[in-house]
Structure 1
């Protein structure tokens, strides 16, 4: 029989929302650090166990994406081939984006305990499905389930924010985000090493997900008993379910899903294809209907109107997060390709190692923005604090145009600082959204933020992939063909040479090309690098207008460093 919260009070964590948000002021300004340390020590070990368990679920939710995205080709080679394999990361992204708003809204009203437990169960189910997959459709189903798992895992940030004093949110959420360091830094390396050097191969990643979510879910089930949700008021669960905005929920689920599906088809079929226009326009129409329904018709809207009226505190933060998602999710998807074509070829270990500076940068930026928020923001304001991260993105992503095949160190340095800007914005927007939102609606706000980041990520991935594919398709034949023919390659052998160099033709060696010679191979390889570098130039430069928009929005956000809620961080 399940124990009630009252029966285990004193033994397990029982969250009292009102008490948890009363901060203990220091006796004097000089005692601030002592008071902070005292508050940290005052948190009981069982509550620490809950925080660690929730943080563990959050970290494992993102880990599968960071490890799996770089090795989808290996998975396709094992259980394919299937052209749908490119949907593996997209399924995860789509499910995350749609699930975030659902999980955030329902958990605010019905409570977070069973949503968190359900998140862990989804992780176990998705992990088993992926570990046992024998074909790409099954793997797609697994990544969809794990995307929903990550959506629920994002909601654990709201759960953590509710159970700690306001002043400690930045420190504790920064520490939780630091747990991603291993996956963000070494995700590509771990994915490749596991796929190549373990007996189960890439399936090992899914078994890790099963074990980690199983343990964390057990700890949460034993120790996490939150009080009744503040948003529920005095209403019963039956009343809450009766008054729930089901139309809004359906529109919020269907609209973004169709939007994501349409965006995914752009690189394959083009922007004029019905495969893109059908679901994309339908998704846009449903999201417009959602906005109208929430603004004018819903009596109890799932997207709270008063939040969107806080344009400078809330809405502009969503825009900044969406642009940050455009940069983060898309770069994660093709940065391995950049390292392969520019520096390492098929050396997967070297690709994984050189991926680490970018991953480390995202984590360092995220943790730094949270820990420095109560230190820097009172001096320069929260809007300039946010603008620091956006500026790093605007500056260093375009600078990726400068490295050549002989300046790998420059590329890795720029990727680190670009990643730092992405991480800075990603975590800081979570904190600022939570500061702008009443405690009872933190889940809704966090869900909206995550959904906007996913929408931005899907759109950015489609834009960048389309640009890269179209420019490389034009530049590689131009550069390689010109160089090879000038070096003496027979015109009839050019198509075969291009096929081998681009990977379209498999099972043949470049030395099998009629009329080939070492000098032709050398100049052709050099021209191939030049073509890829030029193609990526367009990708890096495309980030500039998006970054400028984000920077403008960041500067126009309201400075909340003088607000009562923010001052609680300083008490």
Structure 2
């Protein structure tokens, strides 16, 4: 015998039903158990700790202060493995004899984030923020250990993928992807000060901004451990953070599912949507990375994966719009305003530009200019530091100028688009200009990557802020994944053609006999160390130096198209930012929950 009763509270747009489950023991008596099931979302934020008109002040204890510090450190910890991996790709490939597919290491990391993010809110509802935070910290520690000890391609991919699960339950990205667990700190501040609080959280990443210096130093000066210091440092850092969270982080439950049964929450998870989206996205990315590089664009491999991926993505859109009872992206997130949708589009394009700088700037520093280890690290310091500073400055500006959030974001988008595109003018002869343009572009990227998602957090209902934060991360990482795949295909396709041509051209101009051209270029590009022991007529140190200069120009000309392509995506962000309404009415003194 079962009966269901529905109550519609006058002050909430949230429907609650009570399901009475009958259990019949041996004596045939009925044991009725009442469980609450979640049917809607509290759109009026009735469970906030303090209302919109409150003083917005927070009561901080010693434990909550340390919890906030460890949460901010967890945000940093979730990023550094991606920094060190992205900056060490050449060393990883050489150490593990990986000839193709090295680009899948960062791609696997961000693809796993995109796959798991939509479920972060539900998992928090099921198990609580504390246990999800600790589980995430454990995942990144295991992932770092797998990468650090990795001797095979499969283990490295598994490690980078597993370490990204922590980032999924954090909230955002590197110099800008602010991670999900930081959301707990965010909602412990009033909405008026959320920009300031996120600026402080982002500041914790500054010690790791010189990651290229670290990579170059331990890769060239330590022949036993080398690049593996990156994941080991990440492991030590995250281990300390995990222990700190275990002793300090005891958050209150979020109102979205407080008091509701786990079965009710499990039934609301969109499993079909998740399967369609991640499968479609993976196939789509496989086609983008293979097309024109490992397989011709017209090959059955590329066309099959491309069309299958697009079909699954289209199926996911139809499923979410027409058939999903509880969509992966809650409709309440966009109800009554268009700010969140536009902010997500801006974040998507920012993710595309962010990953172009994150992954292709190290190539510029090592292949376009003289590869002196310390100088490579110093070249990367400006753009890396400026990206973090940009995220801090523009986040703070959102709170400082609450009536001008559109203008604040527009300035960052214009800087990002203009100077990232201007990098197309980079050559081996204008290193200073490249560093200046890259630093300003990084400042703009930082000013878009985090603040765009911050704007979405300002206007969404408190009850779905964790889901909204996770979705913002997912959208940015999907943008970054697609952008990186597009950029990588553009780059590697042109480099494959230009590298032997430019090498031969500069070597011949320096005096290399035409009869030695083929043998010299092949050996120079594949096994340059053998040049000293292999006699090739006409080869001199001057010829080798000229060929090296030719490779620098080949890389420069190939990278040019990456930077020029970024202009198109940046222009979309500019248009969406111009259309962005004001967020002033949402920036109140309401405080959603206490951190502990």
Superposition deviation, residue 353 in structure 1: 1.5
Q: Deviations over 1:218-249 (max 9, x none)?
A: 32233322323211154222322234333233
CA RMSD in angstroms, aligned pairs only = 2.7
Aligned with 1:192 (options 216, 224, 230): 216
Query: What is the match of residue 127 of structure 1?
Result: 144
Distance 1:241 1:460, change over 3 A: closer
Query: What is the match of residue 362 of structure 2?
Result: 336
1:566 correspondence with 2:583: no
Aligned partners of 2:510 and 2:542 also within 8 Å: yes
2 CA distance for matches of 1:221 and 1:21? 30
1:152 correspondence with 2:184: no
How many positions carry a matched residue from both structures? 536
Superposition deviation, residue 355 in structure 1: 0.6
Query: What is the match of residue 329 of structure 2?
Result: 303
Q: Deviations over 1:459-512 (max 9, x none)?
A: 221222222223233334444434443444222211233334544655324995
Q: Deviations over 1:404-438 (max 9, x none)?
A: 43332221111110000110001101210101211
1:474 correspondence with 2:497: yes
1 CA distance for matches of 2:363 and 2:301? 26
Question: Counterpart of 1:463 in 2: which secondary structure?
Answer: helix
Give the alignment of 1:194-213 within 5 angstroms: 194-198=218-222, 199-213=224-238
Superposition deviation, residue 158 in structure 1: 1.9
Superposition deviation, residue 176 in structure 1: 1.0
Question: Counterpart of 1:229 in 2: which secondary structure?
Answer: coil
1 CA distance for matches of 2:245 and 2:257? 22
TM-score norm. by structure 2 comes to 0.83
Aligned partners of 1:189 and 1:355 also within 8 Å: yes
Distance 1:251 1:190, change over 3 A: same
Superposition deviation, residue 146 in structure 1: 0.8
1:424 correspondence with 2:450: no
Aligned partners of 1:129 and 1:139 also within 8 Å: yes
Query: What is the match of residue 414 of structure 2?
Result: 391
Give the alignment of 1:62-461 within 5 angstroms: 62-81=79-98, 83-107=100-124, 111-154=128-171, 155-183=180-208, 185-198=209-222, 199-232=224-257, 234-266=259-291, 267-308=293-334, 312-345=338-371, 347-378=372-403, 381-461=404-484
Residue ranges of structure 1 left out of the alignment (5+ in a row) = 1-15, 26-35
Query: What is the match of residue 23 of structure 2?
Result: none
Q: Deviations over 1:352-408 (max 9, x none)?
A: 111111101110100001111122342xx2222111111001211122233443332
Question: Counterpart of 2:226 in 1: which secondary structure?
Answer: coil
Superposition deviation, residue 141 in structure 1: 1.1
Distance 1:249 1:477, change over 3 A: closer
Question: Counterpart of 1:227 in 2: which secondary structure?
Answer: coil
2 CA distance for matches of 1:504 and 1:310? 62
Aligned partners of 2:50 and 2:589 also within 8 Å: no
Aligned partners of 1:251 and 1:290 also within 8 Å: yes
2 CA distance for matches of 1:559 and 1:62? 31
Superposition deviation, residue 296 in structure 1: 2.0
Query: What is the match of residue 546 of structure 1?
Result: 569
TM-score norm. by structure 1 comes to 0.86
Give 1 or 2 for the bigger CA radius of gyration: 2
Query: What is the match of residue 33 of structure 1?
Result: none
Distance 1:512 1:149, change over 3 A: farther
2 CA distance for matches of 1:136 and 1:491? 39
Aligned partners of 1:258 and 1:279 also within 8 Å: yes
2 CA distance for matches of 1:273 and 1:162? 50
Aligned partners of 1:108 and 1:231 also within 8 Å: yes
2 CA distance for matches of 1:435 and 1:553? 17
Question: Counterpart of 1:367 in 2: which secondary structure?
Answer: helix
Q: Deviations over 1:49-96 (max 9, x none)?
A: 111111111111110111121212222332334534342222212112
2 CA distance for matches of 1:93 and 1:102? 15
Aligned partners of 1:76 and 1:136 also within 8 Å: no
Aligned partners of 1:62 and 1:150 also within 8 Å: yes
Distance 1:195 1:297, change over 3 A: same
Query: What is the match of residue 18 of structure 1?
Result: 48
2 CA distance for matches of 1:18 and 1:353? 47
Give the alignment of 1:513-532 within 5 angstroms: 513-532=536-555
Aligned partners of 1:96 and 1:451 also within 8 Å: yes
Superposition deviation, residue 261 in structure 1: 3.5
Distance 1:502 1:51, change over 3 A: same
Question: Counterpart of 2:210 in 1: which secondary structure?
Answer: helix
Question: Counterpart of 2:359 in 1: which secondary structure?
Answer: helix
Question: Counterpart of 1:344 in 2: which secondary structure?
Answer: coil
